[in-house]
Chains A and B, each alone.
Chain A
Amino acid sequence: MIAQLFQAFFFVNVANIPELVRTGKLDSLLVLPIDSQFAVSTKQFSLDSIVNAGLGGVVVCVALSRLNVVPDLTSILLYLVALGFGIAVHYSIMLALAAVSFWIVRAQGLVYGYFNFLNIARYPDAIFPWLFRLIFGWIIPVVIIANIPARLLIKSLGQPWWLMLHLVTGLEYCFPPVTRLLEICPQPLFQR
């Protein structure tokens, strides 16, 4: 769900940033009378991915019914919040990588490389060694973005508030640039 929703709303745009830089088309976006990050990040959508995200939702429901787990309202809310955080983490990492194109011009390798790297997030964190978990759980919090929400739904796998704290910490201290879009309604983004 996270990857598909990210793909639906942001991936096409962020992956296109190096090309905008290379061709000089970014200039035409920068002069628009709207926030530049908003203009660059929301120009296109990949709507077929939304349907596939729905499929992911169906599989989650099937898996929960097989596990005989009935999540309460708090778990569902935390799950949805964690879903948003997961997308925000992806967005922030990928935007940071795309921004490298200002120095090296063609940075598609970085962006698509990261997108493939996301595959590690769909495996249980238990399979990774502790150093790997430390790096990709705290410094580049890729592994936690799927593991924590899954643990939130399946309560026996952890304490929800501690898991959320881990997720929030991972997002906040690693990727301050993203918080600009995360603070989405107020000041910097929408004031202009």
Chain B
Amino acid sequence: MTGEPAWPLHPPPKEIETLRQYVQSLARLYGVTFESFCYHALKIAHADEEARSFTQPTEDVLERLAVGLGIPIDELRGFEARRRRNVARLYAELEAWIATPEGRQRYEWAFPPKS
């Protein structure tokens, strides 16, 4: 499901956000609590803490997010895998940077080796 986002505010997710963190950032943006956003926008009952963990979001929740944010539902299904890929890529980039003389110097300045 793609197309124009139905919701007025629809920032793209950050690279290493979990789905829960992403929804938390949406709640902050709209100026309501996380629980309230989940309840009103995603129809997650107040008592349903499991659903609010977003570890295994239901198709209904994913559908609402997809329509509201204009993000394909498959992208939302693969949110955690995408996050892991991005974390791995960022680590690889960091290690490559630390391997350069400038990077090594800056890294050791920030994290001095214990003598």
- State whether these chains interact: no
Residues of A within 8 A of B (CB): none
Report B's interface with A, CB cutoff 8 A: none
